[in-house]
Amino acid sequence: MKKTCAHHHHEKKQELASLTGRLRRESRKITGPRAAILEILRHHPHPLTNKEIFAELPKGECDLVTIYRAMQMLEKLGMVKRFDFGDGTARFELVGEGDDGHHHHLICTRCTGVVEIDECFPEEIERRIARANRFTGVTHRLEFFGVCPDCQK
């Protein structure tokens, strides 16, 4: 139940080899599409939609459906984390080994720019909420919204 909200994005970019290693270990094949997808995720510090990944891919490299399937698989293996900015489109971000990827974002409602956030919902308060309602395994989903400096004027 680790949830350290701690500077995930300061982690150095993961080696592609380390990523494919994780796949191999789970007896998943390293295919062209997958390598390409991981390569794109590796170079993006913010969550990407499947369509955005698709757009970055050299045209014809792979089908959109393949990306959907890859993200599902990577999520199940804990290699990417799914985020929901409330616009009905899933976004994915690469997660470091041993990290659960829990963190939050500040999103500009004008330009949809994204800032990675280090702060997390205070643990004591969350514990209090859990205890008060006798819930176990409590976690949270949290995103911030506002207007970024560029969009303010």
Contact positions vs its own copies (CB under 8 A): 84, 86, 88, 106, 108, 115, 117, 119, 121-122, 125-126, 128-130, 133-149, 152
Q: Which of 22, 44, 46, 69 binds DNA (CB under 7 A)?
A: 69
Q: How far apart are CA 70 and CA 140, in angstroms?
A: 25
Q: Which residue, 35, 36, 22, 39, is CA-closest to 99?
A: 22
Min CB(141)–its own copies separation in Å: 5
Among Mn ion, Zn ion, DNA, none, residue 120 binds (CB under 5-8 Å by kind): Zn ion
Q: Which of 47, 48, 66, 93 binds DNA (CB under 7 A)?
A: 66
Q: How far apart are CA 38 and CA 14, in angstroms?
A: 10
CA distances to 4, 62, 121 from 117, rounded to whole Å, are: 12, 32, 11
Q: Which stretch binds DNA (CB under 7 A): 6-14, 64-72, 117-125, 142-150?
A: 64-72
CA distances to 120, 121, 129, 138, 149 from 134, rounded to whole Å, are: 22, 19, 8, 10, 42
Among Mn ion, Zn ion, DNA, none, residue 48 binds (CB under 5-8 Å by kind): none
Nearer to its own copies, 98 or 149 (CB): 149
Q: Do the beta carbons of residue 16 and residue 35 sit within 8 Å? A: yes
DSSP category for residue 118: -
115's tokens: 């800032």
116 is a site residue for Mn ion (CB under 5 A): yes
Interface contacts to Zn ion, rule CB under 5 A = 5, 120-121
Interface contacts to DNA, rule CB under 7 A = 23-24, 27-34, 49-51, 61-66, 68-70, 72-73, 88-90
